[in-house]
């Protein structure tokens, strides 16, 4: 399915966000057909410099910014802010992750965006929300996980300090999903005649959302809320409680087989009873295996039952168990390494891995389009853009100047005539771009925005092409 046929075709999203949450959100919007324009400072999104394999080249950046276009603007200058306002006038949504004061200076606060374009949905990703004692506090994923309790969700007795489970940025990625949802809701509401909303998402809220089933308290528990910093004793107690609960659950866990490992998931009593029949075992607690043991004798008996499960599974190879469990409609699976999924048939036939040709690098395999539209897996997107790769193209639209030929370029061939890989394209303000930020260090100027589908060209002697006409029409419609 071509970009023009996807649900968000014709929707333009400006992404001024850096790092993970905002770029992940806009990548998903691009997968749904939006034209995502990544507005970057002269030094680029800081994620370009995180764990680089070459100067300004990072696989972490590739993963979250494929399919986008990049324009560089120095929002510290009046000229850069003016160009940004003109881009906003032709946009359907704006996403950023700046602190409120900086957003206001750069014309990206809700009021400024609404003044530039009343129909633009405004989306801001903050660390902890814009109100309360931590409103102005700097934070990234691990800090949000720490302050939300998520960092303690998988504590283990061997942990000397709290750790991120699997090193996965769960707060960041969940915030990205919530931001994507907020853009879609805003655009849908606007099309029904409502005012384009301003929506905030926080890493703190996202980290709590991940724990939605645990973050429940009925009435007054009678227990005083804990206060003060976490102690080593509390870490140890939490870890032992978690491990103790895991130790007693036989139906939702992994087991060693004769030759590998098996993941098992029985979430209802019928599945659990069928499993007991296959294994030749009896379980008095089958109706509620998550219940806390009544006493130490019950705890010991239930732990012994888990050991009997493990002993049976260890007698036969993995393929035997997968076959038998499938015949009885009991969910199970083998345990795989992530690196092997690039060639996994289930992954590839559903379009969940794609290959792009990253300029100056060559073929790069990464996550494909997670949306299968009308039964069709989307083709490969364009690669992540080079810094400022589309500046001339996008800024030329604003001034009605000729731009390059339109193309979906699924193979990632570069467009226009940008400089070599990692070299910034033209910026809206004069002067030489500032030196690149060091790995993991925020860029000194405005955060980046997400690029998207290429705009259609304007050729000398011809009327503006559809992409340019659409930009001008949208700007005029919005009173810009």
- 315 CB burial (10 A radius; 0-12, 13-18, 19+): exposed
Contact 19, 98 (CB under 8 A): no
> How much of the chain, in percent, has pLDDT values that exceed 90?
71
From 123-127, 155-159, 409-413, the region with the lowest mean pLDDT: 409-413
Q: In 10 A of CB 142, how many CB atoms? A: 18
- pLDDT for 472 equals 44
Of 135, 133, 98, 126, the C-alpha closest to 203 is: 126
Q: Which two tokens stand for residue 370?
A: 């997670």
Nearest to 415 by CA among 450, 379, 453: 453
- Quick: pLDDT tens for 410-466: 444 333 333 333 344 444 443 333 333 333 333 333 333 333 333 333 333 333 333
Which two three-digit tokens encode residue 7? 């649900």
Whether the pLDDT of residue 263 is over 70: the answer is yes
Kindly report, residue by residue over 173-223, the tens digit of the pLDDT: 999 999 999 999 999 999 888 889 999 999 999 999 999 999 999 987 555
Q: How many CA atoms lie within 13 A of 310 on its CB side?
A: 14
**Average of per-residue pLDDT across 283-293:** 94
**Quick one: DSSP state of residue 406?**
P
Domain boundaries, the chain: 3-209+370-477
Note the CATH architecture for domain 3-209+370-477.
3-Layer(aba) Sandwich (3.40)
Which secondary-structure segment (H or E) carries 210?
Answer: helix 203-210
What's the mean pLDDT when you consider all of the chain?
85
**Conformation bin of residue 91: beta by default, left when phi > 0, alpha when psi is -120 to 50:** beta
**Helix, strand, coil % (nearest 5) of the chain?**
40, 15, 50
Q: Mind listing the pLDDT tens digit for each residue in 33-56? A: 999 999 999 999 999 999 999 999
Per-residue model confidence (pLDDT) at position 225: 61
């Amino acid at each position: 399915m071509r970009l023009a046929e996807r649900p968000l075709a014709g929707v333009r999203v400006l992404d001024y966000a850096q790092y993970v949450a905002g770029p992940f959100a806009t990548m998903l919007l691009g997968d749904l057909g939006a034209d995502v324009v990544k507005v970057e400072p002269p030094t680029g999104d800081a994620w370009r410099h995180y764990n680089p394999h070459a100067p300004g080249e990072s696989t972490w950046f590739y993963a979250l910014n494929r399919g986008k276009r990049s324009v560089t603007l120095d929002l510290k200058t009046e000229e850069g802010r003016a160009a940004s306002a003109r881009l906003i006038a032709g946009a359907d949504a704006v996403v950023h992750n700046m602190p409120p004061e900086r957003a206001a200076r750069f014309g990206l606060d809700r009021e400024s965006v609404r003044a530039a374009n009343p129909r633009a949905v405004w989306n801001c990703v903050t660390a902890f929300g814009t109100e309360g004692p931590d409103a102005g506090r700097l934070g990234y994923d691990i800090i949000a996980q720490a302050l939300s309790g998520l960092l303690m969700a998988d504590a283990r007795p061997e942990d000397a300090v709290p750790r991120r489970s699997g090193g996965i940025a769960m707060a960041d990625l969940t915030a990205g999903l919530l931001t994507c949802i907020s853009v879609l809701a805003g655009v849908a509401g606007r099309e029904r005649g409502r005012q384009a909303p301003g929506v905030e998402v926080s890493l703190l809220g996202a980290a709590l959302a991940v724990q939605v089933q645990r973050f429940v308290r009925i009435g007054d528990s009678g227990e005083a809320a804990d206060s003060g910093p976490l102690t080593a004793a509390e870490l140890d107690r939490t870890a032992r409680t978690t491990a103790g609960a895991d130790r007693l659950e036989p139906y939702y866990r992994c087991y060693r087989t004769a030759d590998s490992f098996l993941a098992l998931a029985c979430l209802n009593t019928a599945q659990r009873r069928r499993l007991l029949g296959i294994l030749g075992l009896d379980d008095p607690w089958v109706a509620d295996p998550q219940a806390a043991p009544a006493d130490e004798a019950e705890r010991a008996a239930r732990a012994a039952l888990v050991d009997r499960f493990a002993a049976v599974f260890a007698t036969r190879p993995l393929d035997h168990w997968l076959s038998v469990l499938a015949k009885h409609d009991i969910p199970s699976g083998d345990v795989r390494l992530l690196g092997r999924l690039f060639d996994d048939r289930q992954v590839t036939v559903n379009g969940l891995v794609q290959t792009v040709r990253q300029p100056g690098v060559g073929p790069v395999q990464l996550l494909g389009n997670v949306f299968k539209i009308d039964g069709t897996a989307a083709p490969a997107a364009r690669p992540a853009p080079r810094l400022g790769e589309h500046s001339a193209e996008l800024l030329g639209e604003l001034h009605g100047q000729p731009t390059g030929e339109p193309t979906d370029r699924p193979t990632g061939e570069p467009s226009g005539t940008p400089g070599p890989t990692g070299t910034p394209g033209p910026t809206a303000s004069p002067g030489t771009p500032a030196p690149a930020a060091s790995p993991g260090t925020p860029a000194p100027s405005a955060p980046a925005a997400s690029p998207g589908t290429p705009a259609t060209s304007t050729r000398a002697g011809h009327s503006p092409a559809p992409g340019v006409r659409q930009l001008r029409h949208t700007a005029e419609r919005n009173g810009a």
